[in-house]
Structure formats: C-alpha cells, structure tokens
Amino acid sequence: MDWSSKLDITRQGLRNLNKTIPDTAKAFGALGKTVRENGVLDFKQKEFVALGIAVAMRCDDCIGLHIEALIKAEATREEVSDVLAMSIQMGGGPSMMYAARALTCYDELTGG
C-alpha cells in the first residue's frame, strides 16, 4: 500500500463528504480545533493518543492522518513505536497488525 496515495484518497473522500453534510463537517472541525488548542497536553501528545486509538480501532485512514501529523510534529520513530507498543497491549493481536501498518506508514512518509 502506498500511504501517500492513500492519504490523497482519504482527503478526497472527506472533501466529498464535507460537501454533502457541511453543517456536520463544520461542527466536527470546530470540535477538533477546540480539542487540539485547549487542555494541558501539547499537540504531539494528543496526536500520540489519537494514533493509539486509531490502531486499536483499526482505522487505516486515521492511522495515515495521525502519522502524518506526528511527522510534522517531529515525532521520532522510537516515540511512535512506543505508542504502538501500548496500542498492542490495549488492543491485542489485531492491534499488532495495525501497529505494523502504522510503522510502515511512518517509514514510507519519512523515507526511512
């Protein structure tokens, strides 16, 4: 799987959905902005939480978006791997499979 292409497809699908349900999309966007900008955790910490949930919930699209955000936040491979280990502990075998996908995504998007 090519993660850059997957992210493009994900964004196109979201744009299509947002056009169809603009009020819901706007409200969801406002929720996301509020969560990212408020509270005691910094952006990178919040993205680590989101990645852990994405792996445990088995959402490839979410994994791609949150890995991309973590790369922009300068998360290291070791930090991402530590989050993936916790995700596996919480989600068991299926989360292990999605953790492997997440690490592949990180490696592809960073050229690692």
> What pLDDT digit, counting tens, does each position of 94-109 carry?
999 999 999 999 999 9
- pLDDT of 1 strictly over 80: no
Measuring CA to CA, which residue among 19, 43, 21 is closest to residue 32? 43
Could you report the per-residue pLDDT of 30-89, keeping only the tens digit for each?
999 999 999 999 999 999 999 999 999 999 999 999 999 999 999 999 999 999 999 999
Residue 85, pLDDT score: 97
Residue 112, pLDDT score: 82
Q: Is the dihedral of CA 28, 82, 38, 70 positive or negative?
A: negative
Which CATH code, of 3.40.50.620, 1.20.1290.10, 1.10.150.130, 1.20.58.480, is assigned to 3-110?
A: 1.20.1290.10
Running DSSP on this structure, what letter comes out for residue 58? T
Q: Would you kindly state where each structural domain of the chain is located, as residue ranges?
A: 3-110
Q: What is the Cα–Cα distance from 111 to 46, expressed in whole angstroms?
A: 24
Position 50, amino acid: A
Q: What is the Cα–Cα distance from 49 to 80, expressed in whole angstroms?
A: 11
Residues whose CB falls within 8 Å of the CB of residue 32, separated by 6 or more in sequence, listed in order: none
Residue 24, pLDDT score: 97
